[in-house]
Amino acid sequence: MEVKIKIEDEYRKFHYDGDLNITVITLLEELGNRVDYSCSCLQGLCGACAMVINGEPKLACQTFLKDEQMTKEYGVITIEPLSKFPLIKDLKVDRSILYDSLKNSRLWLDSDADIKEDDLQFEYEMSLCLMCGCCCEACPNYDLGDFVGAHIPVSASKLINQEKDSAHVKEIKKSYKKGFYNHCVKSLACEDTCPAAIPTQRAISRMNRKAVWRIRDLFNHD
């Protein structure tokens, strides 16, 4: 099998003649120190090994060679770094902008969390976000500009239910409208590609309802 890894502006080719019942991260480990990449938990729980595999953003530790259609049909696997984030080296990228956007969107609690039993399942699903960047990589609108990406409504929709400080809630809503609502075209590529299977459409709908539509209802009220 031919392994093509994008390093800077060209593809470096390797040959692999072993078992296909391994993950991409195991394949990279077998290449030794010839390629730099990020990984940590190897369990699909941290998001560190997110990269583009055969044209799709995925977690390398959860992607098996035997399951890749292109690899099975053509005997080739192509591995690239996420293209929407600054490149560090080889397959390593700098995703600090994801964490900066959480701070800029004021996504923290200013008071004790107000936990509602009816929302526990929803909030659990939203808490599964790995901050891996796959949603941003797949999004046609995300380009490190003003648009913050789908991880923001996912985090905000959980936190806005728990925050009791009304002034802070208003700041979160204002930030959401500016950084997400005004830019999202609702392609939902984020939901299709999320390795944690987070229902991002539900998060977006909930935030739109709380941060945007209520405001419009007030202005349209006769």
> Which tens digit of pLDDT belongs to each residue from 61-80?
999 999 998 888 889 999 99
Give the mean pLDDT of 97-111. 93
Domain locations in the chain?
A: 2-93, 96-220
Q: Which CATH architecture has domain 2-93?
A: Roll (3.10)
How far from chain centre, in Å, is Cα 158?
16
H/E stretch holding 201 reads helix 200-208
Stated pTM of the model: 0.89
Kindly indicate the confidence band of residue 214, based on its pLDDT and cuts at 50, 70 and 90: low
Nearest to 80 by CA among 40, 28, 29: 28
Alpha-carbon span 50 to 111, nearest angstrom: 34
Calculate the alpha carbon distances from 55 to 13, 115, 134, 215 in Å: 16, 40, 12, 40
The span from the CA of 209 to the CA of 211, in Å, is: 6
The position carrying tokens 């039993």 is 117
Mean pLDDT within 186-215: 90
96-220 belongs to CATH 3.40.50.720 = no
The answer to whether 198 and 154 have CB atoms below 8 angstroms apart is yes
- Read off the pLDDT of each residue in 189-218 and give the average, rounded to a whole number: 86
Residue 202's pLDDT is 95
Question: Percentage of the chain surpassing pLDDT 70?
Answer: 95
Residue 110 vs residue 94, higher pLDDT? 94
Question: Average pLDDT, stretch 166-190?
Answer: 91
* Residue pLDDT, tens place only, 54-63: 999 999 999 9
